[in-house]
């Protein structure tokens, strides 16, 4: 079995998680009769201080439903140039919502209040109505970077002044909460909707939850059906989410320590030009000289280590629940010999 650092999505359910899944009470969730799904939705909504939640098969779906419920066709959506909603969701903003994107050159995946304000279109028939701002925290292409709370609040203030809606792609929000010692409730107070992935650092096989106001989530539920995301005895999957919230949140600290250790092992290698500051569980670095990104990942693969070339000279490694201290030592050993 190779040591898999391609993504935190590669984890398999633990024995204890599987037991919790097998024991779940289920029903037909499209009829709203699955008490385990309802428990997960209610629990996450309450944790984030939101009115309601909606369990979906993927983070792409929770983001795309949020964008659909907040916009009309031909509206403009503001996000960072490297946002997942923009570059990794298959053109979904255009396909599902008929909106266009105003992509902003942020720093490590993060945009600021001034950039948002400057990107807002005036009320002019030539211009697309600016409607929605999407932030990503942690920012994947930013190397798992975390927003400072003050920057988020400043963006909220711009949104308030201009009547814009603010959505958070919180695929790895728990990594940010742990790193920044913030609370979910802070986020619920500032964002109109939040997408939370269970199948990343939290180690579930499937699932994301969208939280927001009741009226928005009621509409989101209709959109989910249209997108084909209404699931029946989904309580088996939701049970994994409930288990993960109890057991896999505080341990994210360990993933962050492992990521820092990987970055330390890369520091000073002659083929490493630059490493993005490591804040959470993602290490993104630029290669030079002996290796291209593809070349390095091929070499690592020969040593049974999987990493992704995310650009011609950029490699990404992501730590997770199934990446053990023993695996870390093995990777450190291989890197020492390269």
Q: Which of 60, 96, 175, 297 binds ligand PLP (CB under 6 A)?
A: 60
Q: Which of 4, 136, 192, 216 binds ligand PLP (CB under 6 A)?
A: 136
CB-nearest residue to ligand PLP: 59
Determine, following the binding rule CB under 6 A, whether residue 115 of this chain makes contact with ligand PLP: no
* HSE-up of residue 256 (Cα within 13 Å, Cβ side): 21
* Minimum CB distance to ligand PLP, residue 169 (Å): 5
- The DSSP call for residue 145 is B
Name which of 29 and 136 has its Cβ closer to ligand PLP. 136
Name which of 53 and 272 has its Cβ closer to ligand PLP. 53
Of the candidate spans 36-44, 54-62, 118-126, 214-222, the one that interacts with ligand PLP by CB under 6 A turns out to be: 54-62
Determine, following the binding rule CB under 6 A, whether residue 59 of this chain makes contact with ligand PLP: yes
* Minimum CB distance to ligand PLP, residue 331 (Å): 22
| Phi, psi angle pair for 144, to nearest 5° | 70, 30
Range 261-298 burial, b when 16+ CB lie within 10 A, else e: bbbebbeebebbeebbebbbbbbbbbbeeebbbeebbe
Q: In 3-state terms, what secondary structure has residue 34?
A: coil
Determine, following the binding rule CB under 6 A, whether residue 208 of this chain makes contact with ligand PLP: yes
Determine, following the binding rule CB under 6 A, whether residue 171 of this chain makes contact with ligand PLP: yes
Distance of CA 12 to the CA centre of its chain: 18
Name which of 171 and 202 has its Cβ closer to ligand PLP. 171
Cβ burial of 234 (10 Å; 0-12, 13-18, 19+) is buried
CA-closest candidate to residue 10, choices 255, 285, 268, 272: 255
Residues in region 243-302 near ligand PLP by CB under 6 A: none
CA-closest candidate to residue 13, choices 330, 324, 322, 336: 322
Q: Which of 66, 166, 197, 234 binds ligand PLP (CB under 6 A)?
A: 197
Q: Which of 36, 140, 175, 281 binds ligand PLP (CB under 6 A)?
A: 140
333 Cβ contact partners less than 8 Å away, ≥ 6 residues apart: none
Determine, following the binding rule CB under 6 A, whether residue 106 of this chain makes contact with ligand PLP: no
* Minimum CB distance to ligand PLP, residue 4 (Å): 15
221 Cβ contact partners less than 8 Å away, ≥ 6 residues apart: 54
Asked whether the beta carbons of 13 and 321 are under 8 A apart, the reply is: no
Name which of 36 and 208 has its Cβ closer to ligand PLP. 208
Asked whether the beta carbons of 241 and 174 are under 8 A apart, the reply is: no
* Minimum CB distance to ligand PLP, residue 84 (Å): 3
Name which of 169 and 291 has its Cβ closer to ligand PLP. 169
Asked whether the beta carbons of 168 and 137 are under 8 A apart, the reply is: yes
User: Which residues of the shown chain bind ligand PLP in the complex (CB under 6 A)?
Assistant: 58-60, 63, 84, 136, 140, 169, 171, 197, 199-200, 208
């Amino acid at each position: 079995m190779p040591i898999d650092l391609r993504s935190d999505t590669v984890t398999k359910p633990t024995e204890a998680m599987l037991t919790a899944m097998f024991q779940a009470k289920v029903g037909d969730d499209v009829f709203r009769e699955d008490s385990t799904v309802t428990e997960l939705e209610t629990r996450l909504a309450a944790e984030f201080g939101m009115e309601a939640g909606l369990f979906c098969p993927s983070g792409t779906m929770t983001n795309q439903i949020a964008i659909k419920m907040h916009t009309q066709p031909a509206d403009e959506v503001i996000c960072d140039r490297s946002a997942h909603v923009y570059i990794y969701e298959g053109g979904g903003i255009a396909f599902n919502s008929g909106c266009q994107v105003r992509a902003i050159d942020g720093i490590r995946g993060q945009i600021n209040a001034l950039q948002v304000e400057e990107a807002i279109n005036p009320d002019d028939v030539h211009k697309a109505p600016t409607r929605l701002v999407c932030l990503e925290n942690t920012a994947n292409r930013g190397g798992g970077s975390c927003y400072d709370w003050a920057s988020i609040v400043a963006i909220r203030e711009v949104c308030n002044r201009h009547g814009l809606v603010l959505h958070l792609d919180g695929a790895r929000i728990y990594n940010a909460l742990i790193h920044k010692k913030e609370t979910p409730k802070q986020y619920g107070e500032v964002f109109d909707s939040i997408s939370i992935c269970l199948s990343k650092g939290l180690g579930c096989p499937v699932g994301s939850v969208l939280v927001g106001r009741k009226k928005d989530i009621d509409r989101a539920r209709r959109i989910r059906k249209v997108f084909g995301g209404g699931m029946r005895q989904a309580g088996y999957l939701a049970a994994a989410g409930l288990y993960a919230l109890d057991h896999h949140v505080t341990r994210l600290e360990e993933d962050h320590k492992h990521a820092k250790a990987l970055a330390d092992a890369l520091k000073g290698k002659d083929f490493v030009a630059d490493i993005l500051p490591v804040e959470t569980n993602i290490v993104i670095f630029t290669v030079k000289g002996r290796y291209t990104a593809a070349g390095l990942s091929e070499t690592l693969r020969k040593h049974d280590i999987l990493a992704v070339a995310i650009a011609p000279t950029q490699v990404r490694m992501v730590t997770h629940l199934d990446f053990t201290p023993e695996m870390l030592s093995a990777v450190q050993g291989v890197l020492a010999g390269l």
